Structures are given as structure tokens and as C-alpha cells.
Amino acid sequence: MPKHPTPCGAWPSPVTAALAAGKTVTLSSVTVSAGAVFWLERRPANGGRTTLVGWREGEAPQDLTSSGFDVATRVHEYGGGAYSVAGRQAVLSHRGDGGVYVLSLGEGGTTSDPVLVAADDGLRYADFAVDPCGDWIVAVREDHSVEGEAENTLTLLPASPNAVVDGGTVIARGADFYTSPRFSPDGRYLAWVEWSHPSMPWDETRLRVAQVVRADGTLRLEKMRTLSGGAESVVEPRWLDDRALLAATDRDGWWNLHRFDAATGERRVFYAAAEEIGQPHWVFGQQSFSILPDGRVVALSVRNGRARTLLLSPGAEGDATAREMDLGAPEQCPVLVADRSSPVFAWLDAPSDRPAAIVVGREGELPRVLRAATTLPFAADDIAVAEEIRFPLPDGVEGHALFYSPTNARCTAPKGERPPMIVTAHGGPTARASEAFSFKIQWWTSRGFAVLDVNYSGSTGFGRTYRKRLDLEWGVRDVADCVAAARHVAGSGVVDPERIAIRGSSAGGLTVLAALAVFDVFAAGVSLYGVTDLRALAQETHKFEARYLDGLVGPWPEAEAVYRARSPLFMADHIRAPVLLLQGLEDRVVPPGQARAMVEALRAGGAPCALYEFPGEGHGFRDEVTIARVFQIELDFYGRVFGFEPSGLALAAEDRVAL
């Protein structure tokens, strides 16, 4: 098919706003119990609510919760760990009322509606562990009914749907945060991870274990022991057997697996390499490895920011050897469905050339798709695939980014025109850009933009040293790295150096605005619910991130001068490029006042800017109408700045950007 010369940015695209926003389901949290596969689907078409879905061999996937039930939690504000399945019983958190429910599962799906077992009274629950005896549930509870800061505990709830409690019985308290309560297979031990201010869970955590005592119709913990602590982040404990457990720890510079003896406290390395088997604990319920019945371990490893699946086989001395597995592109570690001569796994597959899907299959075979996030009404010729870019940082360290070329089966740039480029700064900032297919990338590349997704200093997937490079340097190194990445690509001649924009959400929004204030590399910037005032953030944000800035900027309030100097709000008079801000009005992580104050400061300094606010939206947009509007508003903004007329824009007159 011949390609038509068309101005970049104005290419007609098969990626419509409706497709990108309303037809894409967010898939997550794959687990297996009693031969059935379960996962969550967050559906924009259902107001962003999340549904529990189940599948077993010979049947079609089935919704296990109704459209009005939202399987989600607001613990730590970011949630995760909203359900657990043990045998034929599921434990669920309902975001709508904050309660905990038990759902009985039969051969053909649900046998009853979810039954309330713990009512909400300013309480939130997550990360459920079901007692192997079937009597109790241990959950992370976050109590917002107390005066001052919310209290986090490990709390005991009844597993029986015949009992309803107001809040449960606290069995562990004292630390500021808890995660990953896990019973040993015989129910004699409970392990968990805890940490306290000012650490974040990727800085320092403690792995603890206690003996479980059942008496007088209840359960309590005795003889608590700390298995690891100090200057290491230990995450995701899982039991190997009744006495030993594995956990990922970055004590030696990378999240690698160590083996711990619950009875003696002995620890030793299970598998070590310069790669990450572990993730920053932003949400509950993460799964970086799973343990097979024979003691081998399937692990999702990230090396230089890119994921692969490993099969770890322990040797005679306990140290494991690794073999890379042919299991597609998992975003979450595959879990065993059937232990046959050729094991069957289920996983969330997230390749670079098509949308994510829940799949089942054997190693080396084409997996069966149980549910795709969406279907693509266009060919592979319209899909941009990431190219790994490495570039020198100002202090000589190697930086990392993913580059996407403009890609469209029907269009090409006119002779002599180089495409505009959008540089993306991910949120977190303790996170990473992934090469998995994303409409947030394809929306732009299919219209004639290049996209550069930067894994700046502080990103995960490159070891503890790279992650810690942002300590006390947020707003400095991340900004310099994005600038270095943009200059590196522009210097190669593949993009127009006069038409480079930078965009970012949340923490990435701060990077965007600081880059516009300090450097003249970018012709425009877009901040989605971005941080503008670090001083306000330090005083207003929720408990989980209340001391995050101590490590990224400095202790508050001792370092108040640094907070002010790094805040884009107080650099606004240096910004000359046009700025677009997009903000949810229900955002508790970065309150709307931050965006409003930034717009006032930009206007006072004479910078062209526009602010769009979205009622009912929090930190991250969930509703399909909002998401579709955001895609189109941002495209219209670039059209105004770079001088092209977007193709197929369907915005109401009041949504057209006026600068």
C-alpha cells in the first residue's frame, strides 16, 4: 500500500479515542486455585469499576461479581491485593463501601452473592491471607477513624460468611506499614513484611515471622522473629514448605531471592544475579515469582529494564541455577494451573506489538487467550515497537530509554520534514517505563509523533544503585536525564529538535515542569495530575507517601529551602513554553490546588497555559469519557503549539485548547 505524505501530527490514525479509552480493559492479578484461573478486569465502560473473573478448563470466562461490585481497595491510596482465592472461597474488598466479603465458588462459578464479613467504619482492607484451616482471614487494615495519621495493622477477620465483625481483631501493630501476610502451608507460622517512617518499602523493610496459636476460639501470634532488616528492601515472602520461605531482597544491590528458615532464622542465597526479581511495593498483591510443587521457582526477572521469565532449579547446596523460559512476555509471573508432564501456566501476557491478554499455555507453545484487553481493528503495520536506547548522562553514567518511531501503514512525513517527539517522564518516581503495548504510546506514534519513554535515574529494573541515584536529587537528576535523552535522540537527526514536547503524570509532572523552567530543550509540556509544590505535598499527602520526600528531597521541614527551590510553582516565571495541565478533582495524592496554583503562577509570568479539571476523577483517570477527552485535548494542544490540524478530532467547542 502506498504511503501518502502527510504533515506529522495530522496523520489519520486507526487508534481512535473511543478505542483507546472505552474499549480497553485493564487486566491484572492473575491467580490459580483448585485448577481454576482468576483475574481482575477494570472496565472503563463500567465507570472504571473492577470485576473478578474466573475460568476453568472446558468453560468460558465468567464474571464472578456484578457490575455494581468494585473489587478494589484504597489502602495506601494505590490499592492492590483486593482479592484472594483459597480452595472454593474468594475474599474480596469492595471499593464502594470498604467492606470485606466472602464469595463461595462452585464448579460452574459462583454459588451465591458476596457475603459481608467485615463492615467499614473508616476502615480499609487489603492483602488477604486465608488460614489453611479455613477459619480465619488475616488482612492488612488501614484505620482512618483514628485521630491524626491512619493506623495500619495486621487484623484477624472471620472466614465464615455467617459472622460479621465491625473491624476485626488486631494481631500485629507498632510498625507504620504492613504487607504480604502469608501462612505457612501447615498453618503453624505467619510471615509478613513491615516498615516504618521515614523509609519507603524500596528503601528498608523487615521480614518477620511468628508462631500461630489457636486457642479459645481465636488465633494469635507468639514468638515474633525478625528474619531480615537493616539497609535492605525485602519483599514478597512465599513459603517453600512448612518451615522455609523465599523472599526477594536487594541486600547485595539487586532484588534477588534468599531462603529463610522460620524456626532458626538462618538465611542463605537462593539465586543471585545482576537482575531484579522483585518490584517496588506501590501496590499490594505483586507477584515476581511463584513456587512449583517440586521446589523449583518460576521468576519474572528484569535486566536492564526489560523482563524475562526464568526457571530456577535449586542445587544440592540450595543455590539455584537459571534457565530462561519461553513463555511469551509476562507482566506478572506465570502461575501453575496444571502440574502435568508438560506443566500448564496462566499469566498476564504483555507483548510490545499487541494489547495485553490473560493466557494459558505450555512453555514453547502458542498460548490460548482467555481474555484480551481489547481487539485491534488494524494491522501490525500501524504499531510502533520499542527500541532500547542507551545514552550518556551528565555525570558519565549510562542512561536508559525506549524510543518509538512514527508508524502508520498509510502515511509518511513529507519530504524534508522530521517528526515532532514527545518525551515521557514516568510517574513514581520509583517506577519504570515498560516496552509493553500501550495506547498511550500508539495514540501518538500512529499520528506521526516519535515517543521517547525515559527510565531516568531512580527508575527500577536497573539495580539498587541506579534506583538510589535519585536520593536527595528529585527535580534535578530526573530532569537532567530527560534532557540528555532528548538531546541524544535529536542529535541523531531522526526528530525535529524544534518540536520536542515533554509530558508526565504525577511525579513525572514535576519533572515536566522543572525541565521547562530550567532548560530550553522543550517547546511544550503536559502535566497530568503532576506535583507542582513540594512543600504542600510534604504537608498534605497521604500516609504512605508522607515521608517519601525525605529521601527524594530532604527531611521536612529542615530542608524547606530545598523544597521551595525544587518546586515548579516557584520557577513558573522562568517558563516560556506553552503548558497544559490535566487534573482530577478527587485527587488525594496530588490535590487539585497544586494545579490551580501553578496555572496562576504561569499566567502571572506570561506563559501560555490551560487547565482542565475532571469531576469524579482521582489520581489517575478511570472513566472512559474522561480518558477519551484527555487524549483529544492533549492532541489539540500539540496541534496549536506545533501548527498542524489534528485529523478526526471530536472535541466539544469548550474543550478546544485556548492558550
Cα–Cα distance for residue pair 436/38, rounded to 1 Å: 22
Task: Note the pLDDT tens digit of each residue in 380-400.
Answer: 899 999 999 999 998 889 999
CA distances from 301 to 255, 273, 387, 428, 617 (A): 9, 10, 19, 20, 34
Longest Cα–Cα distance in the chain: 82
- The residue among 267, 212, 198 whose CA lies nearest residue 234 is 267
Q: Which residues of the chain have pLDDT under 70?
A: 22, 107-111, 163, 318
Domain count, the chain: 1
Cα–Cα distance for residue pair 200/197, rounded to 1 Å: 7
Residues 6+ apart with CB under 8 A from 121: 145, 166, 167
Give the pLDDT of residue 45. Answer: 85
Give the pLDDT of residue 615. Answer: 97
Give the pLDDT of residue 108. Answer: 57
Please report whether residue 315 resides in a domain: no
Bridge partners of 235? Answer: 248
Please report whether residue 443 resides in a domain: yes
Helix (H) or strand (E) holding 442: helix 439-445
Please report whether residue 609 resides in a domain: yes
Please report whether residue 528 resides in a domain: yes
Cα–Cα distance for residue pair 260/149, rounded to 1 Å: 33
Give the pLDDT of residue 414. Answer: 96
Give the pLDDT of residue 629. Answer: 96
CA distances from 618 to 114, 433, 450, 613 (A): 27, 22, 29, 11
Going through 436-499 in order, the beta strands assigned E by DSSP cover 450-455
Going through 44-176 in order, the beta strands assigned E by DSSP cover 49-55, 62-63, 83-86, 89-93, 100-106, 109-110, 115-118, 123-130, 136-143, 151-158, 169-172
Phi and psi based region of residue 282 (left: phi greater than 0; alpha: psi -120 to 50; beta: remaining): alpha
Coil, helix or strand at residue 1: coil
CA distances from 428 to 199, 277, 303, 457, 482 (A): 15, 19, 19, 12, 15
Distance of CA 550 to the CA centre of its chain: 22
- The residue among 566, 641, 579, 634 whose CA lies nearest residue 606 is 579
The parent domain of residue 608 ranges over 378-655
Residue with cell 501548527: 643
pTM higher than the cut 0.85: yes
Bridge partners of 248? Answer: 235, 257
Q: What is the CATH number of the domain that holds 384?
A: 3.40.50.1820
Please report whether residue 215 resides in a domain: no
Residue 152 identity? N
CA angle 227, 228, 230 (to 5 degrees): 150
Task: Note the pLDDT tens digit of each residue in 270-314.
Answer: 999 999 999 999 999 999 999 999 999 999 999 988 899 999 999
Please report whether residue 80 resides in a domain: no
Task: Note the pLDDT tens digit of each residue in 158-184.
Answer: 998 776 777 899 999 999 999 999 999
Phi, psi of 294 (to 5 degrees): -90, 5
Please report whether residue 627 resides in a domain: yes
Give the pLDDT of residue 376. Answer: 87
Give the pLDDT of residue 111. Answer: 64
Please report whether residue 613 resides in a domain: yes
